[in-house]
Structure formats: structure tokens, C-alpha cells
Amino acid sequence: MTTADDLITLVRAYNPRTDEDMLRRAFAFGAQMHDGQFRHSGEPYFTHPVAVTKILAEQQMDDATLVTALLHDTIEDTKASFAEVEQLFGREIAELVDGVTKLTNLQLTSTQTKQAENFRKLFMATSRDLRVTLVKLADRLHNMRTIKSMRPEKQAQKSHETMEIFAPLAGRMGMQWMREELEDLAFRVLNPEGRSSIIRRFITLQKEAGDVVQKITADMRLELDKAGVAADVVGRAKKPYSIWRKMQEKEQSFSRLSDIYGFRVIAATEADCYRVLGAIHQRWRAVPGRFKDYISQPKSNGYRSIHTTVSGRDGKRVEVQIRTREMHEVAETGVAAHWSYKNGERVENRFAVDPVEWISKLTERLDEDQDHEEFLEAVKLEMYVDQVFCFTPKGDVIKLPRGATPIDFAYAIHTRIGSAIVGAKVDGLRVPLWTRLKNGQSVEAITAEGQTPQATWLDIVVTGRAKTAIRKSLKEEDRERFIKLGRELARVAFENVGKRATEKALRTAAKALAIDGVDDLLSYLGSAQITGRDVVGAIYPDLMQKEGDEVSAARAVVGLSPDTNHKRALCCQPVPGERIMGITYRGQGVVVHAIDCDALVDFEDQPERWVDLHWQEGVHAAVNSVTLDMTISNDAGVLGRLCTLIGEQKANISDLKFIERKPDYYRLMMDIDVRDAEHFHRVQTALEAESNVSSISRHRDPGLAATNQVET
């Protein structure tokens, strides 16, 4: 096991002024706290914090980060407290250790909603001190390096979590080497056969063609010597997961895949970088569309480099990255460059950009009340970016992810411009809004007053910013529509009991139902979250009780013992007046089907489960939901008139879903609550007679038979 002296020797190599005493005290305290604890592999647990610290020391991190790494599990897994760590090592380190503990406790792999909710917390914590995330990433890297000692199901869970969250997070922080290693370690667990097949192909290729990397490296050095440019050239085969991902994206086999080799040229100055590029392009043919200049247009995490792909020896495509030493340090260490030390001094790298700005903008931009799934989607879109750079007509640069459209471009400039876009020009030519933008294009957004975001845009845009703004606008638009519909439903509900739906009456109902204001009340009513009966009953409960002699839903069916639970089948939605049959479910109760329900065929060979039932005589409560499949014209006021017709028939709308929206018609599914078959027939006939209803039918869905569950 690595000793305190070994660790200090490693740190002193880049920071002779390190606080050796604090490192020794932290080492001793961590060893003491973890004494008697062991990892799944059987090793003493403290070997893990030490290994995490070594990973960070290799990135030349500051003392506070190293001490945090040594102690990062003490508050969580030992008797050590925040106050004790603060007393021994200071407030800064105590808060860092506590931050890592909170990230560890987030449990980032559960349901999608929980994952999204925790992702939000992760970014909020990250924005306070990024060193917390650096320690957590190093912690995850060592755990993935030693994952074989865990149970198979736990390996799979951690690997999925690594691939989904930690690997892209490391990439976004600019730590590309860590991202690649995390991906490859997770790939080893999730698809060992795929990884092995790629490695076997590499071995075969090397036997057939020899050491291609060494040959191409020698060719490049020769060309640079001829051009009089001093630079280091390093080549390597790409990681198995990187190749696998390219195979999946391009739908190509390994034999057809090009650019499986990558080369890096480290030059002395920016000017030398472009001289290197010229020498390489002069010697080998450049592949069209594969040139990116991240020196003149850096990535948002500070990454700078020139990327080009050329047809090298024997026609093999090779990717070349050209950068200076300073740029290379940022490319290798990313955000860690902010805390790096050399010769006891904090390193100031002019190319390093603090990603905390990106995280702060992300968390500020997304509303607190936004759906967790939408937040997760937006975060992943932000993290997985492969950027293109486009220009406004004024020459300003707009950074966008690959696959972005003019709509994304417009929203990147301003939400107001994005919402009002009706067309776009790319390099002076009019293009459709779904056009995918390319590097270096000049884009002009054409806007029009009165334009609003369309629902179809959600399938076109790729940026989290655009998706968030579009969804927010659509929700506001839906709210206005629900308020209008709710006002009509309220009017009908009140008129049914001889009352008027005045503003004062609606305010009183909202207060009684604990709803904030009339607009919210009408929105809930229009979106079927509450019923007109609920609203009227909140003010006039006595009027609602006049129907007290109705047959209640609990005793609507005859033929069951008093203690037997029952439920109407979702597939056929039987109503009083129709012939019915029950199917028993052991330990649950009975599901009531219409006698002509297609789902009954599945029980023909189980006669012991059939129960002969019939409806109770008398007036039934209007609580039996039936679904109507309707196609109506897209004209002003049509939906309101239909709601009025339904209310006049003493029926209630319990749900409404739009299936298709076309310029001339809507197709919708409407759930109405009726008393019995006769009541339903009256409602259907009234709607069918409406000139704006082109078709109407009762909707039955055999596919819902499997979801029938008995209420308990």
C-alpha cells in the first residue's frame, strides 16, 4: 500500500511548497477512521482514498483537494463528524468533504424522475466548488478500475451510471482522458464481447499491416523536419468504446471504419500550429468536412486545438490534433488546471476557462418548477455537445451542438427571436427550419410578429435551451385554452342547478377548493383535473345532495357478495343497461365486462372464473366513464359548443385528449361520465347532430384488457 511518504514524494515533484504536515495528519486521520473497514476485494478500505488522492496528485492538484480526497469518505462511513474535520483541517476542507459526501448520497441511478431530480442537486452542489466534482470523478474512476470485486448486478448499475453521467461530466469538464477511460471501463462491463471483438480486430490488423502508428508517426516527423517546424508527434489507436460508438453511429463494420488512429502534434506557438497544418495538408490529402479550428473558435470549456483528418499511409484515414503545450495542458486536465501547481506556484494558464460559468448559466436558465425529466434531458444535451460554430449577419459567433437547426440558432441569440422565427437564410439562401447547420455557416433568422412556437419544433431542435423555451410557451398556450374551456364548463355546470357562474362565485369555489385564484380553477376544470360537479358542490353542497337516492357505484352491480371488490373493465367500459359478465381474480375481486367484450375470449377455457352479473335497478349516478372518438372541425367556438351540448344532457367531461391536430380538423378522445346506456345514447345522438362533428364513435380498446386491476 502507498505510504504517506510515497504520496508526499509524488506531490513534492510538482509542488515543493506543499504542506507536508497537513498531508501527513490527513493520512493518519483517514487511516485511523477507516481502521477495520475493508473493500469488496478484501483490501483495507483506506487503500481507496489513497488511490483517489494519487489520481488527483497526478493532475497536480492543490493541497486542499488532496486532503479532501484522503478524507472524502470519513464523514459518510466513519464516526468522524463535520465539526471534527473542521477543527483539525479547517472550514474549507470540511466543506469540501461534506460536499463529496452529499454527492455520494444522491443515489444517481434510480427511477428516471429521481435521477433527474438528483442531477439538478448535483449541478447546484457543483456550482459552489468544482473541486467537489473533481474528487467525485476520481473516486468513480478508482471504483471503476476495481469494479470486478463487486456483484454482477452492481457492476452493471455502476457502469450504466458512469456511461450516462460521470463520463460525459468528465468530458464537459475538459478531462477527456478521464472520460475515455471511464467509458472504456464501463464498456468492459456492459458489452465485454463487443470490446473483445474490437481488440481482436486490432491485433489482426497489426499482424497484417505492422505497427501503423509508428510508421505514420515517422512520416509526420519527416515532413515537419522538411518544413523546419519543431514539434512533438504522438500517435495511438483509439479506445475500443470510441471505435464501437463510431461503428454504431455510422452503421459500419470494423473493416469499413476509417480514422481508427489518432495523432497529436504539440507545437511551440500558435503560429507553428498553422505551419504544422500546412505541412500535413501539403503531404496528405485532407478529408472534406473533417476540419475544425478550435484555436480561433475555442470550445466553451477552454479546449483549443486544430482537428483535421487526412488520408495517410496506404490510404488509411488518420485524425490529427495540433495544439501548443499550454493548450495541451488544458485539453488533458480541463477544469483541474485551475488548481494545478508547478514548482510550488499556482499555474496560470491563459487558455483555461472555468466551467462553473457553464453550470451557473444552466441552473439559472432552467426554471425551478420545470419537469425533472426535461431538466435531465437539457443537461444531457448540454453535456454531450460536439459543437459547430455559426455566424450571425453581424459576424458574431454562435456555438451550437452538432445537428442544431436555425430554430436552435435563433433561441441561442434570444428567446424572443426563437419564439418568433418563421424562416431562415443560410449563407444567403432560404432553407427549411429543420436544416442541420454546419461549421462556418452564416445564419439569419427571419421572424414575424404574432408567431408562436409550434409543438412540432420539439422534434426538430436539439438544444436544451430551445426545448425548454418551446415547452414553456406551449404550456402557457395550453393554459389559456384550458381556461376558456373551463369557463364554458363552469357556466354549464352552474346553469344545471339554476345558478350563474359569476366571478364572485368562481372565486368562492376556488377558495373552498384551496385553489389559487379563478384562472387556476378554470384551468383545472378545462384540463379535467376537477369536474364541474366539484366546483358547484364547493358552493352549493345541498344541491348536489338532491341526487342522494341514486344507485351508488359501490352497489351498482348485483350478483356479488358484500365483501367482494369489483371494477368496470377498462377495455369495454360497460354501463348500466348493457348485459355484463364478471371475471374473478384470485385474492383481488371481480372485473366487470360487457357481454360482447373481445377480452372475454381469453377466458373461454376457464369457466370457473365467470360470474353472472346484472346491474341494479334504479337511477344510477353519473359516474360511469365512456370514451368517445371524435373528429371535429377546427373552427372557433366548436369545442365550447360541444361542451355545452354535453352539459345540457346532464353529463360531465372527465378527460380530453387531442390525438391529431390538423389545420382543418381535430381528432380527440373525450371521456364522458354518464348514468346508463340510455343516457350515453342521448349524449352521442346530440353530438352526432352537431354540424361541426364529422365523425363520432364509442372507443373500445382490447389492448387495455391486460391493465384491468381490481380496486382494493
Same domain, residue pair 176 and 308: no
Same domain, residue pair 88 and 164: yes
User: Does some domain include residue 37?
Assistant: yes
- Residue 111 pLDDT class (50, 70, 90 cuts): very low
Q: What are the tens digits of pLDDT across the range 348-377? A: 555 555 555 655 655 555 444 455 555 555
Same domain, residue pair 76 and 175: yes
146 Cβ partners below 8 Å, 6+ apart?
39, 41, 48
- Of 148, 167, 190, the residue that ends a domain is 190
- Residue 290 pLDDT class (50, 70, 90 cuts): confident
User: Does some domain include residue 64?
Assistant: yes
Same domain, residue pair 204 and 149: no
Three-point CA angle 361, 364, 370, nearest 5° = 125
Report for 167-176, 496-505, 573-582: range of highest mean pLDDT: 573-582
Same domain, residue pair 26 and 175: yes
User: Does some domain include residue 460?
Assistant: no
Q: What are the tens digits of pLDDT across the range 620-657? A: 877 889 999 999 988 878 888 888 888 888 888 888 88
Same domain, residue pair 169 and 148: yes
- Does residue 482 register a pLDDT over 80? yes
Q: What are the tens digits of pLDDT across the range 292-311? A: 888 887 776 677 899 998 88
Same domain, residue pair 125 and 11: yes
User: Does some domain include residue 335?
Assistant: yes
Per-position b or e across 657-689, b if 16+ CB within 10 A of its CB:
eeeeeeeebbbbebbbbbbbbebbebbbebbee
User: Does some domain include residue 401?
Assistant: no
- Does residue 134 register a pLDDT over 90? no
- Residue 543 pLDDT class (50, 70, 90 cuts): low
Report, as an integer, the average pLDDT of 527-533.
80
Catalytic residue of the set 19, 43, 77, 519: 77
541 Cβ partners below 8 Å, 6+ apart?
none
Same domain, residue pair 288 and 338: yes
Q: Which residue has the cell 465485454?
A: 192
Annotation marks residue 547 as catalytic: no
Print the domain residue range for 290. 194-346
Q: Which cell goes with 461? A: 431542435
- Of 156, 190, 224, the residue that ends a domain is 190
User: Does some domain include residue 428?
Assistant: no
Same domain, residue pair 73 and 39: yes
Which is more confident, 331 or 124? 331
- Backbone dihedral region of 657: left (phi > 0), alpha (psi from -120 to 50 degrees) or beta? beta
Q: Which cell goes with 126? A: 457543483
Same domain, residue pair 46 and 164: yes
Report, as an integer, the average pLDDT of 164-169.
81
Closest among 245, 254, 258, 323 to 287, alpha carbons compared: 258
Instruction: Choose the weakest-confidence range: 115-124, 297-306, 528-537.
Output: 115-124
Q: Residue 133 has what pLDDT?
A: 83
Angstrom distances, CA of residue 660 to CA of 457, 548, 632, 668, 669:
16, 40, 11, 7, 10
Report, as an integer, the average pLDDT of 80-85.
89
SS3 584: strand
Report, as an integer, the average pLDDT of 557-575.
86
Q: Residue 387 has what pLDDT?
A: 65
Total number of domains constituting the chain: 5
CATH number of residue 654's parent domain: 3.30.70.260
* Structural element, H or E, at residue 652: strand 652-661
Which is more confident, 329 or 86? 86
Q: Residue 54 has what pLDDT?
A: 94
User: Does some domain include residue 679?
Assistant: yes
On average, the pLDDT of the chain sits at 81
Q: What are 442's strand-pairing partners?
A: 391
Q: Which cell goes with 158? A: 455502476
Q: What percent of the chain has pLDDT over 70?
A: 82
Torsion angle of C-alpha atoms 631, 632, 634, 635, degrees rounded to 10: 180
- Of 546, 577, 598, the residue that ends a domain is 546
User: Does some domain include residue 284?
Assistant: yes
The size of the chain, in residues, is: 712
Taking the C-alpha atoms of residue 409 and residue 423, their distance in angstroms, rounded to an integer, is 12
- Residue 339 pLDDT class (50, 70, 90 cuts): low
Same domain, residue pair 561 and 511: no
- Residue 201 pLDDT class (50, 70, 90 cuts): confident
Closest among 488, 495, 458, 497 to 656, alpha carbons compared: 488
Beta strands at 665-674 and 624-633: parallel, antiparallel or unpaired? antiparallel
Q: What percent of the chain has pLDDT over 90?
A: 21
Q: Residue 254 has what pLDDT?
A: 56
Q: Which residue has the cell 490529402?
A: 285
Annotation marks residue 6 as catalytic: no
Q: What are the tens digits of pLDDT across the range 231-277? A: 999 888 778 887 787 676 655 555 555 557 789 999 999 999 999 99
Q: What are the tens digits of pLDDT across the range 653-679? A: 888 888 888 777 888 999 999 888 888
CB atoms within 10 A of CB 354: 14
Same domain, residue pair 49 and 155: yes
Taking the C-alpha atoms of residue 582 and residue 674, their distance in angstroms, rounded to an integer, is 21
Catalytic residue of the set 76, 161, 219, 270: 76
Q: Residue 105 has what pLDDT?
A: 66
- Does residue 405 register a pLDDT over 90? yes
Instruction: Choose the weakest-confidence range: 128-132, 304-308, 379-383, 690-694.
Output: 379-383
